[in-house]
Chains A and B, each alone.
Chain A
């Protein structure tokens, strides 16, 4: 398999998240859902955030939009720089002006994320009505436009349908249509294809990528599916137990990973092109409860390379550059993890 062409993204940084921490205060204690996460997203790129459920990737997205349910959630530290403004400090009114207009979100389950009692057209039109002050008629026309953009057949008829009259894939397209109605600069897609059939998944991803180029925005793609990442993303951040553990381009992570967790994910990924009959290897154990996160590196109880005595169980590792460009890892032994040549793609 040949390496992918160089990423198309520019150096135009849209969003810069610095040392973001978000906590939930529950009856059982404080849950550090996102802990000191740093990354940036540039115009034109697809930035993937990968991790198991509970790793903090959705909470990261909700923090950017200022939609962490509060109480019990709260951003406790860091900055979210968007076009020169810190969204953590932004007023509710400023946040509302950004939501849906500059940063739009596509949710995982289009059935429950669409309101059952309003038509598709009303729900798409609502975004343009509040952000661009469109009248009812104009909003409907725009809704028809974006519906056709995402490939809904007969959009002028389907615009008046209710969500339950759409199929799963169509609903996800409608969600995308709703998100792009104001041509936002950043689309946050939270597991946009998880609830869909495999064949529909590919179509929806295609639509998403095409739209991104057409409206010149960026996509923050939240997923647990490394297959989706490989096919669509430019750069990737891997999250584990609320922390980011590795960060780099798709090629760097897939071929030269410097973190045992990423390696574990890759090893548990089935590959069609692999004829070496190597067994899939799941990562042993379970993700930790965020309430009782292990000391030191949160991954060390499951890590095949954790050593005793070593800093793994005692010292929290720090994200650091591990090779050229911007490849970062938070493994104490990142430099000693060297990929076997025969396994690279």
Chain B
């Protein structure tokens, strides 16, 4: 090898490649990385292609540096803890009626009492359970259904794709509230209905996003390579393609938790979501609205609770997106 490098270093000692342990491997890397055209992208030239594990720590490192995202994460952790340990935090039973109607906040009732004399703080803490379970379950349903549908449509194309895309077209043509109302009026009202409805509406966007990434990835050479080695369709779809297409889905799902919490609140507010006496935040605003002047705390505390939770998921989702794709910050 050395012969080909023509000049002679007159007093050279030792191997020309002193630190090299496995020359062939280095040579391969060098071919790939050295001359790939001078793209004027600093990011690309500074960050060498990382391994899977390195990338995960990298994502976490970038995420951690995002103050808003970390704040959002802290709020979510707090809300989850509050939901889990609600009985320990609340001093009152959220269902216990009393004669102290619409009392303003006091040392006795930190956030005051509601229209039928229940402790508002206790209802808010228990309400976190409702909101979180609706938001997270709906996002799970939406993600699972969306990933399966999007993967099938993008991978197989043809009539499968056509059918799935037409279904999303039709469902997207409804304002979501109208569709939610239609479904709810068929299968009745309640928490599980709300989860089902929001999950069944949420998958549409995920399926479309995943489908378009799959259409792109399908053209990639490494998919052809995988096929050439005899990998099954399932294996190609879920082992080779999904990991390369899942990032926007993760971001969307996180943001969707917040969106689902908002939608649940809107449905409950309209009276077609979660029903009394379950402590749902949207429902609490609805009950307080008749007493806007005399008891604004009935609006402000549950409103702030919804706001806080949705904002937290929004910040985390945004932070995730920035961390996963540093170019698009």
List residues of chain B with CB within 8 A of the CB of A307: 9, 11-13
Q: Which B34-78 residues have a C-beta within 8 angstroms of A?
A: 34-40, 42, 44-46, 48, 62, 65
Q: Does A279 contact B (CB under 8 A)?
A: yes
A31, B46: Cβ atoms closer than 8 Å: yes
Interface size on B, residues (CB 8 A): 39
Q: Which of B23-31, B184-192, B208-216 contacts A (4 or more CB under 8 A)?
A: B23-31
A304, B5: Cβ atoms closer than 8 Å: yes
Nearest CB on B from A261, distance (A) = 11
List residues of chain A with CB within 8 A of the CB of B1: 279, 281
Q: Does A327 contact B (CB under 8 A)?
A: no
List residues of chain A with CB within 8 A of the CB of B48: 286, 289
Q: Which of B14-22, B118-126, B231-239 contacts A (4 or more CB under 8 A)?
A: B14-22
Q: Does B225 contact A (CB under 8 A)?
A: no
B27, A284: Cβ atoms closer than 8 Å: yes
Q: Does A36 contact B (CB under 8 A)?
A: no
Q: Which A258-289 residues have a C-beta within 8 angstroms of B?
A: 260, 263-264, 267, 278-287, 289
Q: Does B108 contact A (CB under 8 A)?
A: no
A339 to B42, CA, bound (A): 35
A263, B29: Cβ atoms closer than 8 Å: no
List residues of chain B with CB within 8 A of the CB of A58: 38, 40
A333, B9: Cβ atoms closer than 8 Å: yes
A26, B42: Cβ atoms closer than 8 Å: yes
Q: Does B166 contact A (CB under 8 A)?
A: no
A301 to B20, CA, bound (A): 10
Q: Does B33 contact A (CB under 8 A)?
A: yes
Q: Does A191 contact B (CB under 8 A)?
A: yes
B17, A305: Cβ atoms closer than 8 Å: no
B23, A284: Cβ atoms closer than 8 Å: yes
Q: Which one of B2, B42, B46 lies within 8 Å of A304 (CB-CB)?
A: B2
Known contacts A108-B38, A191-B38, A281-B4; A286 and B11 CB within 8 A of each other: no
A52 to B34, CA, bound (A): 6
B5, A267: Cβ atoms closer than 8 Å: yes
Q: Which one of B5, B13, B42, B46 lies within 8 Å of A281 (CB-CB)?
A: B5
B42, A285: Cβ atoms closer than 8 Å: no
Q: Which one of A54, A278, A284, A289 lies within 8 Å of B20 (CB-CB)?
A: A284
Q: Does A318 contact B (CB under 8 A)?
A: no
Q: Which A29-63 residues have a C-beta within 8 angstroms of B?
A: 31, 33, 51-55, 57-59, 62
B35, A52: Cβ atoms closer than 8 Å: yes
B37, A24: Cβ atoms closer than 8 Å: no
Q: Does A343 contact B (CB under 8 A)?
A: yes
Q: Does B6 contact A (CB under 8 A)?
A: yes
Nearest CB on B from A299, distance (A) = 13
Q: Which one of B4, B9, B12, B65 lies within 8 Å of A279 (CB-CB)?
A: B4
Q: Does A340 contact B (CB under 8 A)?
A: yes
Q: Which A227-265 residues have a C-beta within 8 angstroms of B?
A: 257, 260, 263-264
Q: Which one of B30, B44, B46 lies within 8 Å of A285 (CB-CB)?
A: B30
A54, B12: Cβ atoms closer than 8 Å: no
A224, B2: Cβ atoms closer than 8 Å: no
Interface centre among A267, A282, A283 (most CB of B within 10 A): A282
Known contacts A53-B38, A58-B38, A283-B34; A278 and B13 CB within 8 A of each other: no
B4, A338: Cβ atoms closer than 8 Å: no
Q: Does B327 contact A (CB under 8 A)?
A: no
B12, A33: Cβ atoms closer than 8 Å: no
Nearest CB on A from B5, distance (A) = 5
B34 nearest in chain A by CB position: A52
Q: Which one of A278, A283, A291 lies within 8 Å of B30 (CB-CB)?
A: A283
List residues of chain A with CB within 8 A of the CB of B65: 27
A33 to B46, CA, bound (A): 10
Q: Which one of A53, A194, A278 lies within 8 Å of B4 (CB-CB)?
A: A278
A51 to B65, CA, bound (A): 34
Nearest CB on A from B241, distance (A) = 26
A340, B6: Cβ atoms closer than 8 Å: yes
Q: Does B221 contact A (CB under 8 A)?
A: no
Interface centre among A28, A286, A289, A304 (most CB of B within 10 A): A304
Q: Does A337 contact B (CB under 8 A)?
A: yes
B39, A53: Cβ atoms closer than 8 Å: yes
A337, B9: Cβ atoms closer than 8 Å: yes
Q: Does A183 contact B (CB under 8 A)?
A: no
A283 to B2, CA, bound (A): 11
Top 8 closest A-B pairs, CB basis?
Answer: A54-B45, A304-B16, A343-B6, A305-B9, A340-B6, A58-B40, A281-B4, A53-B38
- A residues contacting B by CB (< 8 A) are 24, 26-28, 31, 33, 51-55, 57-59, 62, 108, 190-191, 194-195, 222-225, 257, 260, 263-264, 267, 278-287, 289-291, 301, 304-308, 333, 336-340, 343
Q: A108-B39, A289-B46 are in contact. List 20 more A-B contacts (CB 8 A).
A: A31-B42, A53-B36, A53-B37, A108-B40, A190-B38, A194-B38, A225-B35, A260-B7, A263-B5, A281-B1, A284-B23, A284-B30, A286-B33, A287-B33, A290-B45, A304-B5, A306-B18, A307-B9, A308-B18, A340-B6
14 of the cross-chain contacts (CB-CB < 8 Å) are A27-B62, A33-B42, A54-B46, A108-B38, A108-B40, A191-B37, A195-B37, A257-B7, A281-B4, A287-B33, A290-B46, A301-B19, A336-B9, A343-B6
